Amino acid sequence: MTRIPPLLLLAGPGVLFILVTLLLPLLAIFMFSFWRTESYELYPDWNLDNYRVLFTEAAYRTFLLRSLIGALVTSLLCLLYAWPVAYFIARHGGRYRLLLVLLLAAPFFTGVILRIAALQGIFGPGGLINMALGIFGLPPIAALMYTPLAATIGHVYLFVPFMVTAIYLSLVNFNFDLLETAKINGAGPWRAFIEVTWPLNWIGTAIGLALVFIPCLASAVTPRFLGGPSATSFGMSLGQQFGETGTWALGSAMGVVLFAFSLLVLAVMGFTVNLKRSGFTGMGAR
Amino acid sequence: MTSVGDRAEGWRRLAMSVLLGLLYVFLYAPILFVIYASFSEDIVWPFPPSFTTDAYAELFDNSLYSDALKNSLIIGLGSGILSTLFATAGVIGVLRFPSRRRALILIAFLAPLFVAELLIGISSLAFNARLLGLPGNLFSAIAANAVEGTAFAFLIVLAQLVRYDWQMDDAAMVFGASPLRCFWEVTLPAIWPSLFGAFLISFILAFNNLEISFYNLGAIPTLPSVAWGSLRFGLGPELFALAALTNGLVFAVFALMYVLMRTGIVKFGYRGV
């Protein structure tokens, strides 16, 4: 009898599961992206028409560009806000650390749609903010109603907990004594941060950036309800291809484009993350 | 004696805690709004306030909501359990049995983090419906949600277990414990808080998932898809009522956790004093 290696026995089922339920469907839409749809049916005549439409029609380019800019701005805002917050929880949270992090996750118990509707209820025409302004005789803040700014606030609202958690998970394995060493050797707090804390926790930041950027790029619900009439995003259009219009082949091609960006993010991470220097995985130890 | 540096450190710490406080305000304002709106007569123009509990009565009368809640719970529990099992086994494998394939296994487990939910949803819809000829069903929804859940659970468990000292397990094995018994009696009691955290996160993600579940379920209702469907005619106040009840439960659990942490009865993995 041959013994199964323990690593295969333990990690094998999970890897196999992900291969079957993630990779196979992705390969399927890759294949469909070269097919043709006619009255809701897919026909396997191989062609590049879907990609030609995607890259020549101005509307799709606008959707993609709009989603890209939105995702970049949101990621940057989340990054700036999440770092001090995660740092505080990891370093000064003490015994309540877990509770403080769980408090960031608890809003997820309320569905995305309800939270977005609530944001609308706070920012919208009849909402809390504008109602309060009205009481003082002030005009409503138009910038908060059905604008790209409102959609960005919505995205930050939805995704900033991911960024904080990713950075936090990295920082809990970071040895803060290193900062003492840096201080003894004459580094000021900022220099110590830039030369020690930031690079040693880059993997947490990178994962956080990916966790914000990727869903934001594909976002469909938030721009639809907060972004106003001229906020059609790539994700919204993609969802329509599989719903209302039933053009599955074109939708598959859009999915492939979306996935190409995921690969790009992954590649950037692959080049910049050094597992041996990351406290997060501790992979350098052995 | 406090030096200038210590005082600056104190200010930085205060500033960071203020940022954390503001973040909680930002995150919970809409939640409070949901609770407030669930008691108000007119959900579209909820100000000035006028209170009623009609939404709650309607919630318990209408079977659509209990069906949706049941389906959401099934998806949440199924996906949460699957994710935690796959991820925990994977993390233990990767950490205990170093091999050259470790990087590949890490990439496989974390890959779902790089695929948007929308893309997981539509690709599994395309695969199931067009290649396998399957109609929308709960099992595909559980599986598709568990893909994302496994990646998050893996990340959470990995971050907590990296510093786990496996010598305890080795000692147990030397004294003749089988690997399974060793896991049950040595490893699990030490690591359960992180497994619980991983389960909780993968449960919530699947429970409230719109984009993965929507495309995998067809006409089967879940709470998010009912919310999505009712948006066309304006959100039903019943959904606000249900969310308010859920949040009440969550906060009760948190309050309990706080008391347990405060008194030190359960430390949830915290090893300090």
What band does B269 get if pLDDT is binned at 50, 70 and 90? Answer: low
Cis peptide before B189 (omega within 30 of 0): no
Q: Picking from A76-90, B48-62, B121-135, which range would have the lowest pLDDT averaged per residue?
A: B48-62
A105 interface with B at CB cutoff 8 Å: yes
Q: Which of B27-36, B143-152, B242-251 has the highest mean pLDDT?
A: B143-152
- Does residue A239 surpass a pLDDT of 90? no
pLDDT at A284 over 70: no
Determine contact, residues B131/A282, Cβ cutoff 8 Å: no
Span A204-227, mean pLDDT? Answer: 88
Distance CA B65, CA B57 (A): 12
The rounded percent of chain B whose pLDDT value lies above 70 is 89
Tell me what the mean pLDDT of segment A253-271 comes to. 87
Alpha-carbon gap, residue B145 to A157, rounded angstroms: 22
Reported as half-sphere exposure (CB side, CA atoms, 13 A), residue B163 has a value of 16
B131 pLDDT band, cuts 50/70/90, is confident
More confident residue, B206 or A132: B206
| pLDDT per position as a tens digit, A176-213 | 888 888 888 888 888 888 888 888 888 889 889 999 99
Which pLDDT score, from 0 to 100, does residue B46 have?
Answer: 59
Report chain A's mean pLDDT, rounded to a whole number: 84
* Beta carbons of A185 and A263 less than 8 angstroms apart: no
Mean pLDDT of chain B: 83
**Partner-chain contact A115 B208, CB within 8 Å:** no
Nearest to A88 among B20, B37, B205 (CB): B20
Q: Is the pLDDT of residue A66 over 50?
A: yes
Give the distance, in angstroms, between the CA of residue A276 and the centroid of all CA atoms in the same chain: 25
pLDDT surpasses 60 at A1: no
Q: Chain B: nearest CA to A203, how far in angstroms?
A: 12
Write the CB contacts of A84 (distance below 8 Å, at least 6 apart in sequence). B15, B16, B19
What CA–CA distance (Å, rounded) separates A47 from A161? 42
CA–CA min distance A272, chain B (Å)? 15
What is the pLDDT at residue B270?
60
Domain residue spans of chain B: 68-263
Task: Assess whether pLDDT exceeds 60 at residue A286.
Answer: no
Place A277 in a pLDDT band, splitting at 50, 70 and 90: low
Greatest CA separation found in chain B? Answer: 75
ipTM of this complex prediction, to 2 decimal places: 0.85
pLDDT in tens, A104-142: 888 888 888 888 888 888 877 767 777 777 778 777 777
Dihedral sign, CA of B165, B166, B172, B177?
Answer: positive
* Correct CATH for B68-263 of 3.60.20.10, 1.10.3720.10, 3.40.50.300, 3.10.290.10: 1.10.3720.10
Helix (H, G, I), strand (E, B) or coil at A184: helix
Burial (CB count within 10 angstroms: exposed 0-12, middle 13-18, buried 19+), residue B237: buried
In chain A, residues with a C-beta closer than 8 Å to the C-beta of B132 are none
Range B10-37 average pLDDT: 89
**DSSP H/E element including A99:** helix A97-105
Output the pLDDT for position A282.
45
Mutate which of B27, B38, B65 to test chain A, going by most A C-beta atoms within 10 A? B27
> Distance of CA B262 to CAs A98, A133, B245, B265, Å?
13, 41, 26, 8
Say which CATH superfamily domain A44-285 falls into.
Answer: MetI-like (1.10.3720.10)
Chain B contacts of A89, Cβ < 8 Å? Answer: 20
Cα distance from B183 to chain A (closest Cα, Å)? 13
**Nearest C-alpha in A relative to B108:** A15
Helix segments in chain B, DSSP class H = 4-38, 54-61, 63-96, 102-110, 117-126, 138-161, 167-174, 179-182, 188-207, 211-217, 223-230, 237-263
**Structural domain boundaries in chain A:** 44-285
What is the spatial distance between Cα B91 and Cα B109, in angstroms, rounded to a whole number? 9
Q: Does pLDDT of B268 surpass 70?
A: no
pLDDT given for residue B128 in this prediction: 87
Taking each helix axis from N to C terminus, what angle separates B237-263 and B63-96, rounded to the nearest 10 degrees? 40
Reported as a single tens digit per residue, the pLDDT across A12-48 is 899 999 999 999 999 998 888 888 777 777 777 888 8
Q: Please report the pLDDT score of residue A27 as a whole number.
A: 92
Joined tokens for residue B103: 């990087």
Rounded distance between C-alpha atoms, residue B191 and residue B189, angstroms? 6
* Nearest chain A residue (CA) to B45: A126
